[in-house]
Every structure is written in C-alpha cells, then in structure tokens.
Amino acid sequence: MVFQASEVGAYVILYSVLSFFSLLALATTPLISKFIPENIRSIFCITKNVEDGKDYFLSARNSASATSIALSFFASGMGGWVLFGGPELGAIPQISWIGVIGYSFASAFPATVIAYIGPMVRDFTTDSNAFSATDFARQRYGRIMQIIAACVSIFYMFIYLVAEMTGIASVYGQMVLNFDRSYLLSISIPLGIFTVFYTTIAGLPASIVTDKFQAGIIVVLVIMLLISITSVPENKISNSEFAKASNWTVDGFVVAVTLVFALLSAELFNQGNWQRVWAAESVPAMRKGFHVGAFLVFLLMMFCGIMGMLSYAKDPEAYEGDKPEKLTFLSFFDMVEPLPNFWHLMVLFFVTALAASSMDSLQNALASIVSRDLIKLGWSPLLISRIILIAINVPAIIMASYGYDVISLFLVADIVCATSVLPLFFGLQTNDKLGGFIAAPTELGAIVGCLFGVATVLVNGAINDFKNPFRYFWLENNAACALCGVKTMISFIVTPIISLIATYIFSFIDITVRGERAREPIIRVRFDDDEDTRADEVEDNFTDEK
C-alpha cells in the first residue's frame, strides 16, 4: 500500500488534535471555567463548577445527562484498535458476516449489562465517596477481594493502554511510512504525555466533556469516509465478488461466542465504565445513556467490519496463501488507499480522536482505583493521579514500542478478567437461596473462585499440550486468527463458569465451618467503618487550590 500523507502533515494533525482536547479539558477546571461566558460554556458543553460533591474531580458525581453518558461511553470505548479488529474479521471469508456481527454485538453488550446491574452496584455501595467496582468489592466482600479486583482492573486497563498506543502508532506508521515501526515511540509518547497532563489537571469531568467532541468528530468522519470510500471507482466490486467474501459460517459463530464472553468479562473490569455509572445524574439517564452508547458502538464496529469484507472482495487473491501479499488486520487501509491525500489525513484525524478519547478515560479510571483510600490517608488527588499515571504510562509506552499484535494483547487481558468476573459481581446476591444450599458468596469463597478461574486456564494449557501452561494465557491456537478456534471459545466459556461454581461451593463450605463469621471481611481496616474527616479536609484544600 502506498499512501500520500506527509510526515509533517501527520505530526501537525497529531499535536493539533491533542492540543485542542487539552485546552478544552483545561477549560472545564474551576480556575478557568468561571471566566468563560455562559453562552460559550454551553456551546462547548462545559458545566459550571460543581461544589456539592467533594470527589467531583474523580467521579463527576451526579452531573452527566443521558446524552453525555451515551457519547462518553461511545467515544471512550472505541479506540484506534477498531481499525484493526473489525476489519480483520471481515477480511477472513471463513468468519465474515457472523464474526463481524458478533464482534459488533459483543462490543456493545457490556453497556447493556452495566445499565442493568449498575444501579444495584451503586445502591449497594453505600459509601458516599465510592465511585468504582473496586469500592463495591471492598464493601461487599472485604479488602482482599478489593485488591484482587483492583489488580485485575489495573492489568486490563494497562493492556488496553498499551494496545491503544500500539494501534494508533501503527496507523500513523502505515499511513505515512508504510508501517515503519519507528513511529511506535514517536506517536505513543505525545499521546501519553498529553492525556496524562489534562486528566491529572481536570479529572473525569474534563474527560466527559472531551468525549462529547470526540464522539461528534468520530460520527462525522465515519459518514464522510463511508461516502468517499464507496464512491471511488477503484473500490467498486460486483455482487458475485462480494458474495465470495460474505459468508455465514460455523467458524464465524465460534468467534462471535468467544467475543461475547471475552469482552463482557473485560469491560466489567473497565473502571472507566463504572465511573460513568456514578457520574450519571439519575438512573434513567444512566440507563438511556448506556443503551444509546451501545447502539453507536455497534454501528461503528459494523462499519469497520464491512470495510474488511469489501477489501477482501476487491482483491481476494492478495489475502490468501501461506505468504499473503496483504494482511487482514490492515484491510481497512486497502479501502482508504485510493482516496486523495486529504482523506489520508482525515483518517489520521479520525484515529487520533479515537485514541485520545479512549486514553483519557483509561487515565482517569486508573487513577481512581486506589484514590479513595489514599485520600483517606491524607494524600492529594492531584498528587495521587500524577504518581499513578506516570508509574503506569512509562512501562506502557515501552511495551507499545515492541509492536505486539493488538488483538492478542486484548485476549490476554480478557482471559485474566474472565477468571474473576463472576465471583465479584455475583456478590450482588446477599441472601441464601434454596434453604441455604446456594449460599450468598463469602469473601473466602470468592477468592477461591478466582483462583479456580486461574487454574482452569492453566489446565486448558496443559490439555492443549503447552509445556508452560502459563503461556496459554496468550491463547495461541494456530487458527485463522487470534480470536478463532473452538479451544479459545471453550476457554472463555469454561473459565468464568468454573470460577463461579467454585465460589458457591467454597462459600457453602466456609459458612458451614465458620458460621456467620464467614460473611464478614477476612481483614478489617479501621477507616473502613469510621468517617475520616481528614479526607474531607484534603479535598476541600484541593478544591480551593484548583
């Protein structure tokens, strides 16, 4: 593929987009927003300084409308990786339609689940300063489950961050120097620096505001690209050509099932999603926002997947054989290549907005996981955010420089999340069922369930002849794609189910042996039950400083 985007033009777009979002984020801070006229504030969706919630910097509590939640979920959930994942499945004829539809549904489905259980999680977490699923883990179970949930969440969001940096840097490399990997660092570093800068200054409220603009940019550019791509003579294909690329197959069904389990497990550990549960102004607004956001996600994923199908239909021989001329995960760019230089630059604009929206949400979510407890110890939220994000972004940038396959990275994170997702969220059951035979999960039972989840992955690795079972977390299966294969599907189905069964069995044993003491946290910390006024003083000072 040969593209006409210049190196200078690419960097101008990168820094211009990141600078604009940084300025927009800074405009949401109390120090600056009070100087902005009301009519300008309304145009840029900037709300007035909210003082009634002292954790507003980290939670944007009760401030976001249904529209804000919808656009925020859509923009933050769709990163540069969508230009690789969806098109890759579409460009594999053994998967095509069912795989593309399955990927689109699987990407949207977690939002509908969160819309259902979100109010229950929020109501259960009576701590007025809670704003994440890890806070739910602490209050429902105890400190050990909170640590497990936090570790899994951090691991998943770290991998997501690496995948996002890798994805966008690869797009720039592909569009400017035909996949020159020297771009992996030169693009990842400014992305990390800019998003860390404005999220540590302006917090979650800024992320929600920037998401609105990013979502609007994404929608407009998708429509423009759809029209331009399909109107270029070089991209015209016949019905018979498209028929060869568009199949309904069992392999596609396997991929679809795999993705539903994988993405649901992972996205329930994405604390950016849970922050928006607390940020919603009401339960109806939250539910409507997540449902609308899910619909937009579905449409975008379908667009990208169909682009992959069209790419294969246009030149099927180039994608076949042991050493194909074209790679399926780059199939989207095959459709973009015939377009004029302007459109190549627009693709870079598009992918930069995608990446920034995902990364600033991830930055906020990563900072929020342990912030509440550290604030209670007297730390400043601003200092906490900077320390956590610098500590995470430096290794993320280094890992991104290795250019790992984006889909493979996500699969590693997804299977780790699958080991613990059901033990955590089935904690919503607080009463015994069937006369105590199905006991409400205890903390010890949930911990053992998580361990059984990990053991299930290792056993699958041993069954599949992996000399080092831990390598099976990469889910290598020698199939047509990283997501393909019955073995991968079985792993994603069996792992959470075994972990849940183990949770109930060992919870029942735990209650039988220890009685009602089993329902209490294994470890108690003093300020879990006491109101710590020092935290309020720190947040008051922080609000004044801003």
Question: What is the average pLDDT across 9-21?
Answer: 90
Q: Tell me the percentage of the chain whose pLDDT exceeds 90.
A: 34
* Secondary structure (3-state) at 335: helix
The first and second tokens of residue 447, run together, are: 């911990």
> Residue 52: what pLDDT?
44
Q: Rounded CA gap, 311 and 330, in Å?
A: 10
- Report yes or no on 425 lying in a domain: yes
Q: Across 279-283, 402-406, 473-477, which has the greatest mean pLDDT? A: 279-283
**Cα-based angle 368, 373, 378 (whole degrees, multiple of 5):** 110
End-to-end CA distance of the chain: 49
On the question of pLDDT at 169 being above 50, the answer is yes
What pLDDT band is residue 375 in, cutting at 50, 70 and 90? low
On the question of pLDDT at 496 being above 90, the answer is yes
Q: How far is CA 321 from the centre of its chain?
A: 34
Question: What is the average pLDDT across 444-458?
Answer: 95
DSSP 8-state secondary structure symbol assigned to residue 91 = T
Average pLDDT, rounded, for the chain = 83
Distances (CA, A) of 306 to 87, 332, 452, 467: 7, 9, 39, 39
- Report yes or no on 332 lying in a domain: yes
Q: Rounded CA gap, 57 and 66, in Å?
A: 20
- Report yes or no on 374 lying in a domain: yes
Quickly count: other Cβ atoms within 10 Å of residue 269's Cβ: 30
On the question of pLDDT at 129 being above 70, the answer is no
Distances (CA, A) of 147 to 161, 420, 499: 21, 12, 17
- Report yes or no on 52 lying in a domain: no
pLDDT tens for 457-484 read 999 888 877 777 777 777 776 666 667 7
Q: What domain count does the chain have?
A: 1
Q: Which domain holds residue 282?
A: 7-35+63-530
* Secondary structure (3-state) at 328: helix
299 burial (CB, 10 Å; 0-12 / 13-18 / 19+) is middle
| pTM to 2 decimal places | 0.88
- Report yes or no on 49 lying in a domain: no
Return the minimum-mean-pLDDT range out of 13-17, 245-249, 291-295, 384-388: 384-388
The first and second tokens of residue 233, run together, are: 């003579």
* Secondary structure (3-state) at 47: coil
Q: Rounded CA gap, 220 and 40, in Å?
A: 22
> Residue 475: what pLDDT?
75
What pLDDT band is residue 527 in, cutting at 50, 70 and 90? low
Higher pLDDT pick, 416 / 533: 416
DSSP 8-state secondary structure symbol assigned to residue 235 = G
On the question of pLDDT at 416 being above 50, the answer is yes
- Report yes or no on 497 lying in a domain: yes
Distances (CA, A) of 283 to 104, 110, 212, 289: 25, 17, 20, 10
On the question of pLDDT at 270 being above 70, the answer is yes
Q: What is the CATH classification number for the domain harbouring 391? A: 1.20.1730.10
> Residue 268: what pLDDT?
94
Q: For 524, how many CA atoms within 13 A lie in the half-sphere containing its CB?
A: 6
- Report yes or no on 543 lying in a domain: no
Q: Across 107-121, 195-209, 221-235, 346-360, which has the greatest mean pLDDT? A: 107-121
- Report yes or no on 161 lying in a domain: yes
DSSP string, 391-415: HHHHHHHHHHTT---HHHHHHHHHH
On the question of pLDDT at 328 being above 80, the answer is yes
> Residue 40: what pLDDT?
59
pLDDT tens for 175-219 read 885 555 667 788 889 998 998 888 888 777 778 888 888 888 888
pLDDT tens for 28-77 read 777 776 666 665 555 555 554 444 445 666 667 777 889 989 988 898 88
